Structure 1
């Protein structure tokens, strides 16, 4: 004999019930069946709402009853031929009338007892099982119906009654010993006490009903039919990459179900475990899917972790004080108090010093527990031997589960390291001696990040998902998005990095998509997005709280650079080509570096100097390896190098500066480049990264621009001034020719002093043949004394700058 149970979504409506009937009819050809069904989807919630409203003298409960009645009548009419509906419809209405009478009593009395609640909630399964049984008879005449309340007997603990297995097993066995039906439909969830009063087995108790019957009948197996393809490695609604688990042991299934795996009600395993009856979890809507097979076999596999689960809405209560140390019975008193007020303890941990005991309970029990504990220990509290209990709400328990975890070292370390890297604070830890479960209490707002991060670590072949929040999608930003789109598949397959762009923003609009923005049409999405606002952008990034988040700044905006600390404090990495932050006041630069270390959030800015060239990275390696940088000489402005390489007798200074802007080599305000400010910022960053403290004001700027050019207030006026002072620039060019030199804007650092300015470079200098928009840097160090370490290459342009930003993002992916 097989026992099948169908959950609420499987019998949500007539369409779904037809799928259930197809499965039952197919399986009934080979086996006798007992089919346990839940209430129609959401009906139990509606019954609960109606009872609360009635007890609160809210007449709108009648509207809910009308909705429940319509739901069942619609299902019956769709499943039963019209010629046979009359008597069945009358029966449904009689049941509804009974429900209305009970609710009217609650309304008149203004109260709702646990006993009455159980009776009201039982109507969901009574109605659904009756309709399904009658629908089955249309095609399978040798089928019947049995009310579970006649076979399953419990105590009077209304709401979650305890089953009397000795009596129930005998009643079940005796009934089915003489029953000839090929299929018997039974309602789940409901039972009755020994004196015949309605009881329920707890929310999700239909699974339990099926398991009780399976155990009593020594069934071949128990099939739980639901709306997912078995138990998953994590909640698939939270972790999109979660995978079905093919096989799992009873103990592992119990651990996962206890920790929130909603596909299986935790007590379900007990009745079948003692009889060694396997459980198969199947999907009503994909019956061909393999599902999850639960048995007493522990399968050996490479990954010792079978699943990651969680319980939300947890409160931690801590009882501590010197009066607990060495005092026998403190724990006993604590748990007795909680038992007396019927509070279930979900999580326990105690310090070996005996100074404190920490327990986890549901948020809904927190107030009751706090009052009861403080009252029980009021004498010790008044004597300052024990502190009033500490209550911390809105937490969550996450758990790694696996039977083979005990045979593998380092799992706890990997778990806590993974959470720590993503700034998930652990409030408490518990691990049993069986090592089948490692549990940790975290803030509820971090649960999505924690589950996804852990799943990534233990189940996704170390594929790391990076979530990018990009501000600034102009020339460089556009190239950056193109490169991500082009390389996304390669990164996932070869570097195990899964890149997702979650947000894009320009100066006018911004667009967010938690599931990742489609990069095929990102421009139209941004254009139709909401108004751009830096504060709102930051708030949304924080609220999403995604793992491995990276803020990418592709602007030259001062106000944006001032937000980096807010991201770093939230463990959000910052990648930027914006030089303002690292060339601002030294204390701000150091603060950002310190925040990066403190909150384990990378702060990378390779493109601040040399676009895509590995200049800053080289400095970091030199310093880290113990070398000392004594002197730096560099041409650090690709735009200025482009300008002076192309400036000639036939190509005016004005025209070549214009062309540099068109090519995207200069900043939007070209004065930033031509004034030397941009180069000063770059050499300052190199100096600071080399280990020296310096401010931008300490750098001597030998500007070649006339004061009048520098005094202009907009680009139009600036370009006019270049025409006005045409002869000034021509004289510089002529002087360079007379000296057989070339004009280069050079940055120098030596003996603690720094300067930037236009220089006449002789032919023997390595700077002389620097073409196009190239940069060059020479480092003289303790190790590179006579011949400097030289880095040379393209130092400007949207594509190379974007590639440098991209490289920084990949660096974070490889951390």
Structure 2
């Protein structure tokens, strides 16, 4: 398939551009983003002169805003969306919307404190958008007060509309900031605001970039894209990564870059200490898939798939260390010597166990079970089974887990079903065929007084999962990192080379 940029050869030749995504925490440090990324000239692929251009930037909302607009990603504290969905007659969503509006205006005031005219322009932009949101939600409340209309039928659209606000705010502001520094930035608004047409995901991206001149313009793009498919209903909070990936594939980028507030490191520096970790440097999309499965914010698995299929290199960089090349993720990499590349994991994992001796020899027994797990909307990290027991290890809120347990008990009345909160810790690498690795890992956990509740290792040997008590998560990560990375001869040799 010919890409947009191949068709528009008069504007961009040989697909020499990159597509880069900036995370929310980094966006909040906008002066660092400005100096370390936007105003840091790059030499485009196959070119000689450094330039601001040949780069497309997809921006996330400023830190905390999407949580306030929807719900807190970690604590579940309700935002505007969650409060609106409750249909409380006291209408608490209105107060939350005003609170978010003030958060946005405070950011504008801080960014443009020395440029009153620009600040007013930024305020007017977001105030207009938020006023539209308020009117829409109030009208929807009225419509849904009639029995013919049900709020649940419209909530996914409400969620999409609110999500769009954070990215529209940050993208618009970024363009104003760049223009103050004589960069020809261009605001590309994929939120489809007040439009009477609705395109598919591919069509929307194609149309938005059809007249962009990457040689002389720096596109700043909203991380949210409104389209017929509905990104939120499919990818929920991973929508900005899907936009990033789709732009890279549709425009035929040479490289995709994610700028984050930290390196993609051998473990979480907050857990094992900044001095004990190091950037991975180079790995492959297989490792990225394993990280995505654990909920690690390297890149959404579906976003990675698009890049992988088009053989686009993905690079994860630290916003605050612009000189560092970061970690390159590519198709054709495998570590020269087998080793563990990263210790990662997830807390608040639910181990849901179904024990029923009637399942022995019944090949169809688990079909309904799998259907209910899918219907519940929880995410399966892994599962195990033997002759009479199936255990799912799940990520999801307690409400969905309880729903699933009730449905399973109805479907399997004779089964003994229980749930336990656990943590999952995983050793991951592009090639972990190290003799005795399982023994070494198990010994490290045992020496740290961590009880292993379950262990999983596939024949391909790219990951090794340990289920432990939730309170043992930090201890387990530190023990495995110390044994498998810090004291690994291969890693030590690479560090001193």
Separation (CA, whole Å) in 2 of partners of 1:299 and 1:184: 34
Question: What residue in structure 2 maps to residue 172 of structure 1?
Answer: 205
Separation (CA, whole Å) in 2 of partners of 1:107 and 1:238: 45
Shift of 1:461: 1.8
Query: Within the alignment, does 1:29 sit opposite 2:51 as a pair?
Result: yes
- Relative to structure 1, is the Cα distance of residues 177 and 249 closer, same or farther in structure 2, using a 3 angstrom cutoff? same
Shift of 1:77: 4.3
Question: What residue in structure 2 maps to residue 459 of structure 1?
Answer: 485
Report if aligned partners of 2:205, 2:247 keep a CA contact under 8 Å in 1. Answer: yes
Q: In the TM superposition, what whole-angstrom CA distance separates every residue of 1:393-435 from its partner, at most 9, and x where no partner exists?
A: x211111111211x32221121122212222222222222322
Question: What residue in structure 2 maps to residue 288 of structure 1?
Answer: 323
Given the alignment, which residue of 251, 263, 274 partners 1:217? 251
Q: In the TM superposition, what whole-angstrom CA distance separates every residue of 1:292-328 from its partner, at most 9, and x where no partner exists?
A: 1111132434451111111111111122222111111
Question: What residue in structure 1 maps to residue 495 of structure 2?
Answer: none
Separation (CA, whole Å) in 1 of partners of 2:459 and 2:168: 44
Q: Secondary structure at the match of 1:9?
A: helix
Query: Within the alignment, does 1:279 sit opposite 2:314 as a pair?
Result: yes
Question: What residue in structure 1 maps to residue 468 of structure 2?
Answer: 442
Report if aligned partners of 1:25, 1:140 keep a CA contact under 8 Å in 2. Answer: no
Given the alignment, which residue of 128, 132, 137 partners 2:174? 132
Aligned ranges for residues 606-645 of structure 1 at < 5 Å? Answer: none
Q: Secondary structure at the match of 2:272?
A: coil
Q: Secondary structure at the match of 1:243?
A: coil
- Relative to structure 1, is the Cα distance of residues 121 and 221 closer, same or farther in structure 2, using a 3 angstrom cutoff? same
Query: Within the alignment, does 1:417 sit opposite 2:459 as a pair?
Result: no
Q: In the TM superposition, what whole-angstrom CA distance separates every residue of 1:433-477 from its partner, at most 9, and x where no partner exists?
A: 3221111211100001100000010111269xxxxxxxxxxxxxx
Give structure 1 stretches of 5+ with no counterpart: 157-163, 382-386, 464-815
Aligned ranges for residues 513-524 of structure 1 at < 5 Å? Answer: none
Query: Within the alignment, does 1:9 sit opposite 2:25 as a pair?
Result: yes
Separation (CA, whole Å) in 2 of partners of 1:337 and 1:60: 33
Question: What residue in structure 1 maps to residue 418 of structure 2?
Answer: 390
Question: What residue in structure 2 maps to residue 114 of structure 1?
Answer: 156
Report if aligned partners of 1:7, 1:38 keep a CA contact under 8 Å in 2. Answer: yes
- Relative to structure 1, is the Cα distance of residues 115 and 263 closer, same or farther in structure 2, using a 3 angstrom cutoff? same
Given the alignment, which residue of 79, 89, 108 partners 1:76? 108
Aligned ranges for residues 664-679 of structure 1 at < 5 Å? Answer: none
Q: What is the TM-score normalised by the length of structure 2?
A: 0.80
Separation (CA, whole Å) in 2 of partners of 1:340 and 1:200: 13
Q: What is the TM-score normalised by the length of structure 1?
A: 0.50
Q: In the TM superposition, what whole-angstrom CA distance separates every residue of 1:499-526 from its partner, at most 9, and x where no partner exists?
A: xxxxxxxxxxxxxxxxxxxxxxxxxxxx
Q: In the TM superposition, what whole-angstrom CA distance separates every residue of 1:730-762 from its partner, at most 9, and x where no partner exists?
A: xxxxxxxxxxxxxxxxxxxxxxxxxxxxxxxxx
- Relative to structure 1, is the Cα distance of residues 340 and 77 closer, same or farther in structure 2, using a 3 angstrom cutoff? closer
Given the alignment, which residue of 27, 34, 50 partners 1:18? 34
Query: Within the alignment, does 1:327 sit opposite 2:362 as a pair?
Result: yes
- Relative to structure 1, is the Cα distance of residues 51 and 173 closer, same or farther in structure 2, using a 3 angstrom cutoff? closer
Shift of 1:25: 5.7
Shift of 1:208: 2.5
Aligned ranges for residues 185-196 of structure 1 at < 5 Å? Answer: 185-193=220-228
Query: Within the alignment, does 1:100 sit opposite 2:130 as a pair?
Result: no
Separation (CA, whole Å) in 1 of partners of 2:169 and 2:207: 25
Question: What residue in structure 2 maps to residue 742 of structure 1?
Answer: none
| Equivalenced residues, count | 438
Given the alignment, which residue of 124, 129, 145 partners 2:187? 145
Separation (CA, whole Å) in 2 of partners of 1:373 and 1:336: 10
| Cα-Cα RMSD | 3.0
Separation (CA, whole Å) in 1 of partners of 2:328 and 2:55: 19
Report if aligned partners of 1:189, 1:202 keep a CA contact under 8 Å in 2. Answer: no
Q: Secondary structure at the match of 1:203?
A: helix
- Relative to structure 1, is the Cα distance of residues 439 and 177 closer, same or farther in structure 2, using a 3 angstrom cutoff? same
Report if aligned partners of 2:18, 2:253 keep a CA contact under 8 Å in 1. Answer: yes
Query: Within the alignment, does 1:357 sit opposite 2:399 as a pair?
Result: no
- Relative to structure 1, is the Cα distance of residues 13 and 449 closer, same or farther in structure 2, using a 3 angstrom cutoff? closer
Question: What residue in structure 2 maps to residue 633 of structure 1?
Answer: none
Aligned ranges for residues 190-339 of structure 1 at < 5 Å? Answer: 190-193=225-228, 201-228=235-262, 230-240=263-273, 241-302=276-337, 304-339=339-374
- Relative to structure 1, is the Cα distance of residues 92 and 376 closer, same or farther in structure 2, using a 3 angstrom cutoff? same
Separation (CA, whole Å) in 1 of partners of 2:354 and 2:203: 46
Shift of 1:172: 2.9
- Relative to structure 1, is the Cα distance of residues 222 and 29 closer, same or farther in structure 2, using a 3 angstrom cutoff? same
Question: What residue in structure 1 maps to residue 412 of structure 2?
Answer: 377
Separation (CA, whole Å) in 2 of partners of 1:18 and 1:60: 37
Question: What residue in structure 2 maps to residue 708 of structure 1?
Answer: none
Separation (CA, whole Å) in 2 of partners of 1:397 and 1:4: 31
Aligned ranges for residues 454-533 of structure 1 at < 5 Å? Answer: 454-461=480-487
Q: Secondary structure at the match of 1:192?
A: coil
Shift of 1:249: 0.7
Q: Secondary structure at the match of 1:234?
A: coil
Separation (CA, whole Å) in 1 of partners of 2:32 and 2:108: 13
Separation (CA, whole Å) in 2 of partners of 1:21 and 1:361: 38
Separation (CA, whole Å) in 2 of partners of 1:29 and 1:214: 19
Shift of 1:203: 1.7
Shift of 1:260: 3.6
Report if aligned partners of 1:170, 1:216 keep a CA contact under 8 Å in 2. Answer: no
Q: In the TM superposition, what whole-angstrom CA distance separates every residue of 1:57-94 from its partner, at most 9, and x where no partner exists?
A: 55554454344323333433454532444444322211
Separation (CA, whole Å) in 2 of partners of 1:174 and 1:126: 18
Q: In the TM superposition, what whole-angstrom CA distance separates every residue of 1:204-245 from its partner, at most 9, and x where no partner exists?
A: 4322321111112221101101101x2111122212122211
In terms of mean alpha carbon deviation, does 321-330 or 167-176 score higher? Answer: 167-176
Query: Within the alignment, does 1:38 sit opposite 2:60 as a pair?
Result: yes
Query: Within the alignment, does 1:47 sit opposite 2:79 as a pair?
Result: no
Separation (CA, whole Å) in 2 of partners of 1:133 and 1:31: 14
Shift of 1:263: 3.8
Shift of 1:266: 3.4
Question: What residue in structure 2 maps to residue 498 of structure 1?
Answer: none
Q: In the TM superposition, what whole-angstrom CA distance separates every residue of 1:244-274 from its partner, at most 9, and x where no partner exists?
A: 1111111112212322433433333111000
Q: Which has the greater radius of gyration?
A: 1
- Relative to structure 1, is the Cα distance of residues 133 and 68 closer, same or farther in structure 2, using a 3 angstrom cutoff? same
Question: What residue in structure 2 maps to residue 428 of structure 1?
Answer: 454
Shift of 1:104: 4.3
Report if aligned partners of 1:5, 1:210 keep a CA contact under 8 Å in 2. Answer: yes
